[in-house]
Structure 1
Amino acid sequence: MNWYNVGKIVNTHGILGEVRVISSTDFPDERYAIGSKLGLFMPGSDKPINLTVASHRKHKSFDLLTFENHPYVQDVEVYRDGVLKVSEDKLEKLEDGVFYYHEIIGCLVVTLDGTEVGTVTEIMETGANDVWTVKPEKGKLQYIPYIDDVVKEIDVDNKKIIIDPIEGLLS
């Protein structure tokens, strides 16, 4: 089963079993809803600790969570630096034209004329639009803005993206 990051526990909060989470999900209300099932992966482990969300609230830039059967700080302090993940079967269905990062990363990017640019290795959020880091077989990294003028087709099933590079985009 595949698991996808939703946040990282960076500390405890108070004495009643709350943890501070730096969230990495676009769906915190769904991921951290009471009763939601999450897998906690500790550094160096590939086996999840299954947790059920008991409460969720926002505090400053953090999501504060408690988990069922973990009422005290002593119960959760060992979870510090653990990564919270959601299993693949819990991913939300997205509307057309919207993709999860894991669907884009690993895609081969080609131009309209079939020239291979490289493979998407990272997605950077810039505020205006995402920018994809594309690693060619040889040469330097390319940065492709995810805008309609450039990205013409995304086929996540075949892991292929077709672009029409604007002048000066590819070097």
Structure 2
Amino acid sequence: MEKWFNVGKIVNTHGIKGEVRVISKTDFPEERYKAGNKLFLFMKNENEPIELTVKHHRTHKNFNLLIFEGLENINLVEKFRDGILKVPESQLSELEEDEFYFHEIIGCQVFLTSGEVLGKISEILTPGANDVWVVKGKDGKEVLIPYIADVVKKVDVKEKTVIIEPMEGLLS
């Protein structure tokens, strides 16, 4: 059975030329939404996903705007609202060393180099220069960990563990 990964949710249309507004959940939007790429739309009351081919992609404010081939009219895409865009596992590309997909990192247990458990990664933020991992501690408190070599010392996605060496002031 094929495993599927969310890349975004269609939240609305944009204009009249068939553009849809997507809240992206993908790690690599520039690559994932490239013209010619296939995405699969899962709708709440449909059994089978709808295969879509990206014709055009651009960003506007905090959204990714997509036009799909053959669907260049608002009337054809209005029904896609609230649909989830996914890709099959077979479409995930190989990553460079020290690159990870979000789904590989979220849920990892974070340890300090001393062996102390900090918590679990619950979310990944992408503010700019580097990703920031949100670690939820046992007490429910969140700690923000920058994904930089000075802090993140080891990532083992198979064991779902991360070892960090916090910089001064990071945990206070």
Question: Is TM-score (shorter-chain normalized) higher than 0.5?
Answer: yes
* Equivalent residue letter for 1:162: I
Whole-angstrom CA distance in 2 between matches of 1:141 and 1:29: 29
How far did residue 117 of structure 1 move?
0.8
SS class of match (2:159): coil
Whole-angstrom CA distance in 2 between matches of 1:54 and 1:133: 31
Q: Is the 8 A contact 2:109 2:160 kept in 1?
A: yes
Structure 2 unaligned blocks of 5 or more? none
Residue equivalent to 2:66: 64
Whole-angstrom CA distance in 1 between matches of 2:110 and 2:78: 43
When the two structures are superposed, what TM-score results if normalisation uses the length of structure 2? 0.80
Q: Is the 8 A contact 2:11 2:23 kept in 1?
A: yes
Residue equivalent to 1:124: 125
Residue equivalent to 2:8: 7
Residues 139, 84 of structure 1: alpha-carbon distance in 2 compared, 3 angstrom cutoff: closer
Structure 1 unaligned blocks of 5 or more? none
% identity of equivalent residues? 52
Residues 45, 109 of structure 1: alpha-carbon distance in 2 compared, 3 angstrom cutoff: farther
How far did residue 65 of structure 1 move?
1.4
Residues 45, 159 of structure 1: alpha-carbon distance in 2 compared, 3 angstrom cutoff: farther
Whole-angstrom CA distance in 1 between matches of 2:29 and 2:167: 36
| Matched ranges for 1:1-171 at <5 A | 1-13=2-14, 15=16, 17-42=18-43, 44=44, 49-53=49-53, 55-58=55-58, 60-61=60-61, 62-68=64-70, 70=71, 72-138=73-139, 140-171=141-172
SS class of match (2:82): coil
Count residues in correspondence: 169
SS class of match (1:8): strand
Q: Is the 8 A contact 2:39 2:54 kept in 1?
A: no
Moved more, 94-103 or 16-25: 16-25
Q: Is the 8 A contact 1:3 1:85 kept in 2?
A: yes
1:35-65 deviation line (CA, Å, top 9, x unaligned): 43322133x5695522221522436454331
